[in-house]
Amino acid sequence: MNDEGVMERNKENRMPSAPLLSVEGLAVDFATMDGVVHAVEGVDLEIAPGETVAIVGESGSGKSTTAMAIIGLLAGGGRVAAGSIRLDGREIAHASENELRTIRGRDIGMVPQDPMSNLNPVAKIGTQVAETLLAHGLATRQNVQEKVVEALSAAGLPDPERRAKQYPHEFSGGMRQRALIAIGLACKPRLLIADEPTSALDVTVQQTILDQIGAMTRELGTAVLLITHDLGLAAERAERVVVMHRGRVVEQGPARQILEAPQHPYTQSLVKAAPSVAAARLRPEAFEVADRSEIDRSLSEERSDETKRGPADNIVEIENLTKVYPVRGQKDDFVAVNDVSLAIPRGETVAIVGESGSGKTTTARMLLKIIEPTSGLIRFEGKDVSSLSRAETKDFRQRVQPIFQDPYSSLNPMFTIERLISEPLDFYRRGSGADRRKRVRQLLDDVALPQSMLTRYPSELSGGQRQRVAVARALALSPDLIVCDEPVSALDVLVQDQILTLLGDLQREYGLSYLFISHDLAVVRLISDYVCVMKDGVLVEAASSEEIFTNPRDPYTRRLLASIPGNELNIAS
């Protein structure tokens, strides 16, 4: 059934006079060292049984705070200062912790944004799913494993029996997110709060997960409150959209109406900043290169005599790269990357796309010398990185900097933001103390963070703000090559647009090169000169960005493009 059919059926099953969730005049305050912060003010929204409502807005707009207030999980210092939250007519705004415990999981499910901080690193995935089922009496000791496998399978995890016996560190980022989704859906709640539930997932798995949520909406009457910065996803999957800005609702209404014809200036700015395949075609000047004909050549042909670049043209050359992991208790090894060859031209951007587990991040980590390849060759400016001396390796790490996917685990929670950004400057003794402080402040401006953030800690920042800190830290040493592993996946569209513009400006000004790992094909279309498509550790297609997006040759590439959320919607201007 298509999306419109789903919506029509939901409307038939709905009782408009009796909303499942009703929020009226909600205000949330946080007590801080600097006084009371009014995070949410006067929020009104309703969700009917079986309805999907999306809240969109930039980081810090109050989206997640509103969701946390509904489920009673506000961070320390937070409280509902005013307003009403009713679930099926029952007031829960000031419910006791015991009352909320019975509601969470069974009545209101939660899929949080960050898998690393929400999964127990020392407990098996299956154990963590089982805890939820057993706590609410939805499984017995005799059948809990069967139900765990069902939940993991429904969330799109392949080979769920084996995955249930593994630990979070054995999963990719996308797989960990799917495990969280399995936990959130296991008890079949009446309301599911999904806070960026697919931000770490590739488009095909994203489609699988959202289809599963849609199936629950149809079959069980489960309502969904979707928190997202992906306007295409909101337009495609939600029936209504609520736009928040600075803790207030500035616009709400039918999803397509809001996103195709926004009325409020803030909503208009969100839509304008949203990357999409259509928008990229309309803005080819965003990342100009001198020789467009050269871009049109396939990367897979670069090693031939006719098109092979010399060392002076490529900052990185990767040949026949392979990474094999032994699997405990199994006869066959796991081949994460299989005979991959590609080049990164100096001053240009090469993107690697593919599903979770395709080998994208493993390839990037081998380039960064975080892990060693099983076989193959990586050359940086013509020199084999495996043969670098200790001094050369130190220089290499200054010139090649990472931006990791997960800002929660890549930032030291004990450091202030100032110390986090200045750490690489201090380590390599760049300039005087005053010079470093000046550089840190300039970097905060570059990534659109206020100077007041300097004394804060990562726990006091939103997910998008933390990722901006990670970007600023990567830029601190003015590197030649930046390996970007999902650098904007946690960002709202306005900040995403700022960061991509910043990366483009720096590239043009300083001749930077980028290896860009992403599952967001709209972003890849916007920023990349070349695109490499990986599947199951193998490079299945490599060509210019224009060629990949207008004339994909491999069936897998065509399937990825067809899965882009909101691809057929006119939300770009």
Tell me the pLDDT tens digit for each residue of 212-256.
Answer: 777 766 777 789 999 987 777 888 889 999 999 999 999 999 988
- pLDDT for 7 equals 44
Between 3-13 and 203-220, two packed helices, what is the crossing angle to 10 degrees? 30
- Which span out of 216-230, 283-297, 469-483 was modeled with the highest average pLDDT? 469-483
Nearest to 244 by CA among 60, 113, 81: 60
Q: pLDDT band at residue 257, thresholds of 50, 70 and 90?
A: confident
Is the pLDDT at 347 greater than 80, yes or no? yes
Report which DSSP code applies to 519: S
CA dihedral 267→272→274→275, nearest 10 degrees, is 170
Distance CA 204, CA 559 (A): 8
Mean pLDDT of 248-273: 89
- Alpha-carbon span 274 to 243, nearest angstrom: 14
Average pLDDT in the 436-457 region? Answer: 91
pLDDT top residue among 247 and 12: 247
Q: Which of 40-49, 214-223, 301-310 has the highest mean pLDDT?
A: 40-49
Tens of pLDDT, residues 372-418: 999 999 999 999 999 999 999 999 999 999 988 777 778 999 999 99
Does residue 305 or residue 548 have the better pLDDT? 548
User: Tens of pLDDT along 101-113?
Assistant: 889 888 998 888 7
Instruction: Tell me the percentage of the chain whose pLDDT exceeds 90.
Output: 46
* Over residues 25-53, mean pLDDT: 91
Q: Specify the pLDDT at position 567.
A: 62
**What is the predicted pLDDT for the residue at 221?**
77
The type of residue at 102 is T
All domains of the chain, ordered by start, with CATH? 1-107+190-273 (3.40.50.300), 114-188 (no CATH), 284-410+479-562 (3.40.50.300)
Q: Which is more confidently placed, 2 or 156?
A: 156
For range 150-170, the mean pLDDT: 89
> Which residues fall within 8 angstroms of residue 246, CB to CB, at 6 or more apart?
60, 61, 62
Mean pLDDT within 163-187: 86
Task: Print burial letters for 200-233: b (CB count within 10 Å at least 16), e (below 16).
Answer: bbbbbbbbbbbebbbebbbeebbbbbbbbbbbbb
What pLDDT score was predicted for residue 316?
A: 96
Residue 174 vs residues 67, 157, 171, 300, 560: alpha-carbon distances, Å:
22, 10, 8, 27, 15
pLDDT of 35: 84
Confidence of residue 200 (pLDDT cuts 50, 70, 90): low
236: its two tokens: 């495609």
What does pLDDT average to over the chain? 83
